[in-house]
A and B are shown apart, each in its own frame.
Chain A
Amino acid sequence: MNCQQFQEVLPYIIESGGNEEEEAHLRSCPACAELVQDLEYIAQQAKLILPMHEPSPRVWAGIEDSLHRQGLIQEGRLSLLGHVTIFPPQAKSWTPLGWLMALAAMAVFAVLLINYHPQLPSAPPSAQNMSAPAPSTAFEGDDQQLIVQVSQQAPDVRRAYEDSLREVNTYITDAQQAVDKDPADAIAQQHLLDAYQQKEMLYQMATSRALP
């Protein structure tokens, strides 16, 4: 049994345990063993978190849209509340690995979204300093989690995420201050929205990069 064959039956292995051949492959292949371990962990964490904090339908719609755009799912695969629709076996046109990856992506992304609270300064700095980059190089909370996620990647990739995260946080801070200064300023509001979209993109890309 090779890795591809093993991964095609992975959902069934996680659900009900594998047969001798599958277990033998699992023992002999560290990559698949690590994959199984990661997926079991994600599944456990998702179970713990999802019932406590059900995100709004908008969040699920965003995830679904993102998965559509990335070609990971097709129309009608997810309901608005994020529950996977069960299809009869004969309607299946997606591999079990595809399902599992989508579920894993949803779980990881949901954890990030649930815990995502932008850090805004309590006292805005002066207007002259509005566009100065944040001096702090340390990240907190979810941002730190994002950096941990990409830490397994090449050093320049990790650096790219760190720099971008720092810059987008500055963008959010600047735009938020502009909105606070003039709440009727539609351009400032648009900048704030764009800034959050930039940050969302970083989280989405980091999450997809962290998938096996």
Chain B
Amino acid sequence: MKVMNKLSFTAVAAVVATLGMLQAASADTRKETRLEITPGGTVNIVNNYGSVTLRGGSGRQVLVAYTLHSDKVEVDESTTSDKLRAEIRTHVLSDPKPTVEETRVEYEVTVPAGVAVNVSTATAPIVAEGLSGDLTLSSDTGQITVRSVARVHVHVRGVTAPVSLTSVSNGHVEITSSGGEVQLVDVWGPKVWVGTTSGNISYRGDCSGGGDYNLTTHSGVIEVTLPETASFDVSARSVSGSVQNDFPLKDKPHSFYPSKAGSSFSGTSNSGSSSVELQSFSGRIRVKKQPSAAATPK
């Protein structure tokens, strides 16, 4: 009997929970729209709360799918008559100001090849994957993730937004973040510039492409992990922090500043094709050798 009661209670609870979820789901509104865009055009997206996911697509239309969680916001979409610019903006309708939850809109945007995208959010995370146009991404606190892009400019700005870039080939990368952590994995190109105030910076890759790699922070930690085959010329200095180098380097004949044990070093690996500049004010800098595949424990 007790078992039966338990089962009944569980069943009722499950039904109530399901109804609740259905009710919540029914309050959400999902919409889709298509905006004409010319190759070389720009899509601007402003969405403070929720999320923005960008994916590479084909054709000449930007496909925008979004989910609204209340009727207190709407999405304004427009394109210019020459189809060079599309605007997508979350717009608050009601007064008094709705809650953050009510303002939340989730976007999934498919962007044709060669179209640039600018995204601005407050707390909404931004994910950009497989795009082939320039990216300008800005968020106060939302995670910014860029994956698998090539031959593009990637400009990222964040207040405390964590930033993660993976598989960026031949890119012009500029990241400015105040307190957010910046992680770069397999990112290379003619210019890779990262500046933070307190955010840690980690780079894992081979600094290839003969580019300029410049990582600067005030109090964050800079950690660079490179394979033995990497060809670069490195200078590292921390004004009041420490530096550590585990990488075999040849002395440079002329250095911008003299190596000083514990606070600065410079040197060349292989032919030194790329330039790597690491600067910290009070943070720690470390350059590590990536374990070779054979040495990596399985």
Which residues of A come within 8 Å of B, CB atoms?
A: 3-4, 30-31, 34, 69-72, 93-95, 127, 130-131, 152-154, 156-157, 160-161, 163-164, 167-168, 170-171, 174-175, 178, 186-188, 190-191, 194-195, 197-198, 201-202, 205, 208-209
Contacts and interface: CB of A to CB of B under 8 A. Distances in A.
A4 B76 contact: yes
Interface in B167-196: 176, 178-179, 195-196
* Among all A-B residue pairs, the 6 with the closest Cβ atoms: A30-B95, A131-B282, A164-B178, A171-B218, A160-B160, A71-B118
Given A93-B81, A201-B178, A163 B160 contact: yes
Contacts of B216: 190-191, 194
B155 interface: yes
A70 B94 CA distance: 27
Contacts of A3: 74, 91, 93
Interface string B67-97: 0000000101010111011000001111101
A72 B68 CA distance: 25
Contacts of B138: 70, 205
Given A71-B42, A160-B140, A190 B159 contact: no
Given A160-B179, A164-B159, A191 B239 contact: yes
A131 B240 contact: yes
Nearest to A208: B120
Interface of B: 42, 44, 48-49, 74, 76, 78, 80-82, 84-85, 91-95, 97, 100, 116, 118, 120, 122-123, 136, 138, 140-141, 155, 157, 159-160, 176, 178-179, 195-198, 216, 218-219, 237, 239-241, 256-257, 279, 281-282
Contact of A187 (B198, B218, B239): B239
A95 B136 contact: no
A176 to B, nearest CB: 11
Best-surrounded residue of B42, B82, B84, B281 (most CB of chain A within 10 A): B281
B140 A205 contact: yes
Main secondary structure of the interface of A (DSSP, over half): helix
Nearest to B264: A187
Contacts of A194: 195, 216
Contacts of B219: 131, 167, 170-171
Contacts of B123: 154, 156-157
Contacts of B240: 127, 130-131
Contacts of A198: 176, 178, 195-197, 218
Contacts of B198: 167
A157 B103 CA distance: 15
Nearest to A191: B281
A187 B80 CA distance: 45
Given A167-B219, A187-B239, A187-B279, A201 B157 contact: yes
A198 B158 CA distance: 10
Contacts of A197: 176, 195
Contact of A31 (B78, B95, B118, B239): B95
B36 to A, nearest CB: 15
Contact of A175 (B74, B92, B120, B281): B281
Contact of A174 (B49, B179, B281): B281
Given A161-B140, A197-B176, A174 B82 contact: no
A160 B256 CA distance: 36
Contact of A170 (B159, B218, B241): B218
A161 to B, nearest CB: 6
Contacts of B97: 152
Nearest to B103: A154
17 contacts: A4-B78, A31-B95, A71-B42, A71-B118, A131-B281, A161-B140, A163-B160, A163-B179, A164-B159, A164-B160, A164-B197, A167-B179, A168-B197, A171-B219, A190-B279, A205-B159, A209-B140
B97 to A, nearest CB: 8
Contacts of B42: 71
Contacts of A157: 122-123, 140-141, 159
A163 B49 CA distance: 21
A171 B281 contact: yes
Contacts of B195: 194, 197-198
B141 A156 contact: yes
A123 B241 CA distance: 23
A181 to B, nearest CB: 10
B44 A71 contact: yes
A163 B179 CA distance: 8
Contacts of B241: 131
A195 B218 contact: yes
